[in-house]
Structure 1
């Protein structure tokens, strides 16, 4: 597939699935905006993605849970490209794991703010700009999680946030479809990312025993699904939730 001439915006682009998505979209010809709250990681991703005379990449310091930061990100893009992106990938996410009875209100709110509210703010801000510019072919891909369907011990905040992302996506797809904006969710399982590396070894072993393919996924494997949903090959898919779990 080719994304030559397309502009992509990826939150959480500094590491994990977001970084892999940036690399693949750029490889296929897109101009990529790498957005992350860790500037060092943004620069590393920018330096790792291919470019050509037809591509202009950009790195942005972004805190998705802050509406001002999201608005500034859009302004920076409009100043550089004179148009909003037609590919939006919401990968930014955090964990603050603890058992329900020990989980602090602050840790609950922070995870909801970044994972759920952040996805909402990006969709609203950039979706409005897409409509205002009269663009009628755009794709928003949100990263949920398989644990948002089934729950996971020690992650009441994270599972709630990811369940919210999935239903936020389905509703947004119904509202934005008539404007030519497709909205889909990817539900990864255990993928070898910095977040998964924080999971205790015993818990990782438990998950491994439940995966028919007997391995964790790679960020690049999720990126391939992101690219499919961003492309015209998925032109009749919206409101969908696609699991990438190795059969978990």
Structure 2
């Protein structure tokens, strides 16, 4: 059963990590996917393997985001699913963090998700249907030491998701968010061992999550399986911080 057969999806930050895992699963489930990333070489390589399309996109640039959505509609004829996943980190304690480091992270995560949601909804309103999935983080729920920028941005995405869900509901647009916990990626595996062990101790399931497990949550929220769900936040954390 292909849960996304005939659907068109855009995934930002899709050249690697969680975004790539989502793009791959969506393709397996029948979707045509546009992979957006600043790393256009990697995005093109992955898109070719998925018979999709790749677009270089700075998610903090409104023109880039509008062009990304336009490419999806022009190439595949519609936009059914938008996944706002692109993100960065600039970790420092608040006393050492510069204003630019704070604003850059907030811009990429929160402003980028707002631009993506805004552009996607403009198309989806005309279609009378659509699903938007915004990538938050468990740090947006509990806060992380040294991540005032990241935690603030990820908390903001929850508010954005709920407000957009209210605006889109009457037009058949569902907007939901995912809060991953400790997921095994190149970035997390580069953490010092003591930091990794400290996070692992907080997880009742006693293991890190895999990118495919976050992708499965995104698939659920993008598909008809969640047809009566909007404005919600799914935690993919192994029970951490429950």
Q: Give the TM-score normalised by structure 2.
A: 0.95
Which residue does the alignment assign to 2:171? 179
Matched with 2:73 is 78
Q: Write out per-residue CA displacement over residues 80-116 of structure 1, whole angstroms, 9 at most, x where no aligned residue.
A: 2333x11111110110000010001111010001000
Deviation at 1:44, TM superposition (A): 3.2
Quote the residue 1:116 is aligned against: 110
Question: After superposition, what is the alpha-carbon deviation per residue over 1:127-186, rounded to whole angstroms, capped at 9, x for unaligned?
Answer: 11221xx21221000110001110110100000000000110011101111110000000
Gaps of 5+ in 2: none
- Residue equivalent to 2:9: 8
Matches within 5 A, 1:1-248: 1-49=2-50, 51=51, 57-83=52-78, 85-131=79-125, 134-248=126-240
Which sections of structure 1, spanning at least 5 residues, go unmatched? Answer: 52-56
Residues 18 and 211, structure 2, Cα contact 8 Å, conserved in 1? yes
When structure 1 is superposed on structure 2, of 74-83 and 177-186 the one drifting more is: 74-83
2:163 is paired with a residue whose SS is: helix
TM-score normalized by structure 1?
A: 0.93
CA RMSD after TM alignment? 1.2
Equivalent residue of 2:140, what SS?
Answer: helix
Residue-pair matches, total: 239
CA-CA distance at 1:203 after TM superposition: 1.2
